[in-house]
Amino acid sequence: MKLSAPVYHLKRKAKRMSRERGIPLHEALDRIAATEGFSAWSMLAAKAAAVTPANRLFAQLRPGDLVLVGARPGHGKTLMSLELAVEAMRSGHRAAFFSLEYTEQEVLDRLRAIGVDPAQFDRLFEIDCSDAISADHVVKQMAAAPCGTVVVIDYLQLLDQRRDNPDLSVQVRALKSFARDRGLAVIFISQINRSYGPSAKPCPDLGDVRLPNPLDLNLFDKLCFLNNSEVQLRLAN
């Protein structure tokens, strides 16, 4: 049975229902589950946790992979990337989240939005929201990262916003080389062109990736595109 929206969206809907109707959260969750065809939230959660898009993509990750996760704003690309980091940590690996978009507190709040207590992975998770984030910065900070570490970069199009940073293409190539040398998986969150519309296709694709500066998208090994509840995983050509 396919859910009408990702689980984290349904949780938000239940929390809003709980506040607006003055009912306990567990009751609101069960009501949302009923609209999805489940007798209780626990049944919905168990079904959703069995095989998620993040589970599937993480199972395909290999040391040295560069992965692009693209979607329009509000469609779950940051949460998907965090879910990949969580999958890595649940497997005993380290994870790091480099963001030029969010504060550390906002990153932690987004972890909680997918049902994760940040304290559970305190020693495995690193957050860096420095204005200095670039390929050189990531390489320096991750120089001692063990094989299997998942690194999330938020987001691709901001890496060369500072004039003193190298071109985007140069930075992505440097990170690809570094990932292969160290056995890391690097996840790039990516913007999608505003011209993309779901009426033409359910999910964006490589042709919809916003590229204010030139970049060979064949540098990415795996691709993940999202739009509402639609998720498409694929290998790069």
**Residue 121, domain CATH:** 3.40.50.300
Residue 195 maps to a domain: yes
Same domain, 82 and 147: yes
Same domain, 44 and 81: no
Residue of 168, 145, 159, 149 lying closest to 219 (CA atoms): 168
Say if residue 1's pLDDT is above 60.
Answer: no
Whether residue 8 has a cis bond before it, omega within 30° of 0: no
Rounded mean pLDDT of the chain?
92
Same domain, 155 and 42: no
Same domain, 87 and 178: yes
Query: Token pair for residue 237?
Result: 């050509």
- Please give the average per-residue pLDDT across 142-165, as a whole number: 95
Same domain, 41 and 99: no
Backbone phi and psi for residue 180, each to the nearest 5 degrees, phi listed first? -70, -40
Same domain, 126 and 26: no
Domains in the chain: how many in total? Answer: 2
Give the structural domain span for 84: 53-235
- Please give the average per-residue pLDDT across 141-170, as a whole number: 95
Same domain, 37 and 100: no
Contact between 193 and 208 under an 8 Å Cβ cutoff? The reply is yes
Say if residue 198's pLDDT is above 60.
Answer: yes
Say if residue 6's pLDDT is above 80.
Answer: no
Residue 2 maps to a domain: no
Q: What is the pLDDT of residue 205?
A: 94
Strands 230-235 and 222-227: antiparallel
